[in-house]
């Protein structure tokens, strides 16, 4: 199987030969930081134009078609516009917290990126509790949103932030239980271990009906946790203008806007890793010839292909269903998804103990 591990090993060996150990480690951090920022910038451009094209496709229209070939440079034009716009701070706002909030949200997104395996042997930090790390760090982003709503000195922003906080904390429970069902099957919290456990088949196929239920609940819950329609009550335009980021403009607004799409990528990357094998090719049991052919496709193409498939699925949901009311949103979690998730976790535990999975 094609691996990027040789590239990382080559860079590390060159740095260790050229510089002292401490300086080599520093330059490794710099390279990782630059690559992470470049990935974020690239994903922002790609996902925004993808969102607009998917919306146009579903609504039977053209979408962006003026800037660049087929409108592909529209995201770049929007970025230039946001860079040139003046950043304003409202009177009465807590200036320090108001300016800090968008950076908190972006920093959380960058930290969550660390244990995700983008290809075979290509990840920032192969920690043996990667799933626990992702769950813990991603929970901090709600602090940035609450900070933005409160510091804006705007009742609509505060109400939007409170809604967003309640929504994110509620749906984290279903996400966590869906993730636990896969951990029960693999017996490990390490993301690399979870990927390797799917060498002879992805868990969505090997885990029978409980794995499919976990996958469906995971997609619904992460759609709500990232404040995506039809669960975007935090920024319901008809009642809360833009929600918690109403008072933001220029690059500070752009950071919130970018963080939303980065979070979509991250949750879809986690979903692809847990249920669809991550960078692991599509293998079927002992079909050696078929599996060998699948191994010719580079591992990073498998990872990004699965991740963008899930992103497309979430975008499809956004442009298909109308927005829920806030009471419907919370009822869906507490009365339906959470009890189903708890029962499904017990069922998955039984499957794992009895060895009924493939």
Residue by residue, DSSP assigns 192-229 as HHHHHTTTTS-HHHHTHHHHHHHHHHHHHHHHHHTT-T
Integer Cα distance of 76 and 83 in angstroms: 11
Q: Give the confidence band of 290 by pLDDT, cuts at 50, 70, 90.
A: confident
What pLDDT sits at residue 274?
92
Where do runs of H (alpha helix) occur along 59-154? 74-84, 95-112, 130-138, 141-151
Residue by residue, DSSP assigns 15-41 as HHHHS-HHHHHHHHHHHHHHHHHHHHH
**Res 76 pLDDT > 80:** yes
Averaged over 295-311, what is the pLDDT?
Answer: 90
What pLDDT sits at residue 239?
61
Averaged over 105-127, what is the pLDDT?
Answer: 87
**Res 340 pLDDT > 90:** yes
Q: Give the confidence band of 237 by pLDDT, cuts at 50, 70, 90.
A: low
**DSSP 8-state symbol, 122:** B
307-336 pLDDT tens trace: 999 999 999 998 888 888 888 888 999 999
- Which residue in the block uniquely carries the two structure tokens 């520093």? 26
Contact of 178 with 339, CB cutoff 8 Å: no
**Res 240 pLDDT > 80:** no
147-160 in b/e burial notation, b at 16+ Cβ within 10 A? bbbbbbbbebbbbb
Return the domain boundaries, the chain.
93-354
């Amino acid at each position: 199987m094609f691996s990027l591990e040789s590239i990382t090993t080559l860079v590390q060996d060159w740095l260790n030969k050229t510089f002292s150990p401490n300086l080599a480690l520093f330059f490794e951090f710099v390279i990782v930081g630059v690559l992470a920022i470049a990935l974020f910038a690239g994903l922002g451009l790609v996902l925004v134009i993808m969102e607009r094209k998917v919306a146009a496709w579903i609504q039977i229209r053209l979408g962006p078609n003026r800037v660049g070939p087929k409108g592909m440079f529209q995201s770049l034009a929007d970025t230039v516009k946001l860079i040139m716009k003046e950043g304003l701070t409202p009177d009465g706002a807590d200036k320090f917290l108001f300016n800090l909030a968008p950076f908190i949200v972006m920093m959380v997104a960058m930290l969550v990126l660390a244990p995700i395996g983008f290809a075979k042997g290509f990840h920032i930090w192969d920690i043996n509790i990667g799933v626990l790390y992702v769950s813990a760090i991603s929970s901090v982003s709600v602090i940035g949103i609450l900070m933005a709503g409160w510091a804006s000195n705007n009742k609509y922003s505060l109400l939007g932030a409170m809604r967003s906080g309640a929504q994110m904390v509620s749906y984290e429970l279903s996400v966590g239980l869906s993730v636990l069902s896969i951990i029960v099957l693999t017996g490990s919290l390490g993301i690399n271990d979870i990927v390797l456990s799917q060498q002879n088949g992805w868990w969505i196929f090997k885990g029978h009906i409980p794995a499919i239920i976990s996958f469906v609940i995971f997609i619904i819950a992460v759609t709500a946790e990232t404040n995506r329609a039809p669960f975007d009550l935090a920024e319901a335009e008809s009642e809360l203008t833009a929600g918690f980021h109403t008072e933001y403009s220029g690059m500070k607004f752009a950071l919130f806007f970018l963080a939303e799409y980065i979070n979509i990528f991250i949750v879809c990357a986690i979903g692809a890793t847990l249920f669809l094998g991550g960078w692991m090719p599509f293998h079927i049991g002992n079909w050696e010839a078929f599996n060998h052919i699948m191994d010719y496709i580079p591992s990073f193409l498998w990872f990004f292909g699965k991740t963008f498939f899930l992103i497309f699925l979430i975008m499809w949901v956004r442009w298909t269903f109308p927005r829920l009311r806030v009471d419907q949103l919370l009822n869906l979690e507490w009365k339906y998804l959470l009890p189903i998730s708890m029962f499904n976790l017990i069922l998955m535990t039984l499957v794992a103990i009895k060895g009924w999975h493939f």
